């Protein structure tokens, strides 16, 4: 239907079900722009001509239970997101499996876990799919830094066109599998580049220090 850097709207049709709308959503990660996310959600909800399901990374929490960590989530952010969801007449779909979808500082005392990813729908969509289940399974990870890699677009295009099945889920799985292997290589190259740059940065710093220490030793002898 339409799209932007923060959403993709598609119309889904099947012979056995009414036509409905699916939206993939990515909320603004910056706290200063959360209101932009909330207003975008309200704007998308204005098109109520079809049963609607919206899912994605909202970069927001609905309740305190959506976070586990050292610091509580700011109340104004919880209230703002809840208000937007209410204004959009959306129902949060229960998540089965592990409760949280994002982790930071894993394995350290500062570890934080949050449920940033979720799916919501209108009541008319639930009338079509009353037994819908939302499962938290191990998913492919996408790094925003990959968007700067010139080989990303050809990789996605090739995988999408070469997928043997026209089924969109098969295409997504096929693409995600190859992208995961490609991403591991990119990360290795990135780490190697960081190591090289780090070594080069240390050379001009270390040499004057060694020279200065040598001069101090000579001065002490004299």
Instruction: Give the span between the Cα atoms of 23 and 11, in whole angstroms.
Output: 9
Instruction: Give the span between the Cα atoms of 219 and 68, in whole angstroms.
Output: 58
90 and 183 belong to one structural domain: no
CATH number of domain containing 104: 3.60.10.10
pLDDT in tens, 160-200: 888 777 788 788 878 888 888 888 888 777 767 666 666 66
The count of structural domains within the chain is 2
Instruction: Give the span between the Cα atoms of 216 and 214, in whole angstroms.
Output: 5
Averaged over successive runs of 10 residues, the pLDDT of the chain (222 residues) comes to 91 89 94 94 92 94 90 92 96 89 83 92 94 76 80 88 78 82 80 68 52 47 43
27 and 97 belong to one structural domain: yes
Instruction: Please say whether the beta carbons of 142 and 180 come within 8 A.
Output: no
Q: Which domain holds residue 174?
A: 141-222
User: How many CA atoms, within 13 angstroms, populate the side-chain half-sphere of residue 156?
Assistant: 9
In this prediction the pTM is 0.64
Asked which of 94, 109, 139 is the last residue of a domain, the reply is 139
pLDDT in tens, 202-212: 555 454 544 44
Q: Convert 164-194 to b/e letters by CB count within 10 Å (16 or more is b).
A: eeeeeeebeebbeeebeebbeebeeeeeeee
């Amino acid at each position: 239907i339409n799209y932007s850097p923060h959403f993709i709207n598609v119309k889904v049709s099947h012979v056995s079900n009414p036509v409905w709308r699916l939206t993939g959503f990515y909320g603004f990660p910056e706290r200063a722009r959360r209101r932009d996310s909330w207003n975008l959600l309200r704007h998308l909800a204005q098109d109520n001509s079809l049963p609607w399901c919206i899912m994605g990374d909202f970069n927001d929490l609905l309740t305190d239970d959506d976070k586990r960590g050292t610091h509580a989530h700011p109340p104004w952010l919880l209230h703002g997101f809840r208000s937007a969801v209410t204004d959009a007449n959306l129902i949060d779909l229960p998540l089965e499996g592990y409760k949280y979808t994002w982790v930071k500082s894993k394995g350290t005392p500062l570890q934080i876990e949050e449920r940033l990813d979720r799916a919501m729908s209108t009541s008319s969509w639930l009338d079509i799919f009353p037994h819908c289940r939302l499962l938290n399974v191990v998913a492919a990870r996408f790094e925003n830094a990959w968007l700067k890699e010139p080989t990303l677009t050809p990789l996605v295009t090739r995988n999408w066109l070469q997928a043997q099945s026209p089924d969109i889920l098969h295409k997504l799985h096929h693409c995600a599998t190859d992208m995961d292997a490609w991403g591991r290589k990119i990360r290795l190259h990135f780490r190697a580049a960081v190591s090289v740059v780090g070594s080069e940065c240390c050379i001009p710093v270390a040499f004057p220090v060694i020279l200065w220490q040598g001069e101090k030793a000579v001065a002490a002898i004299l």
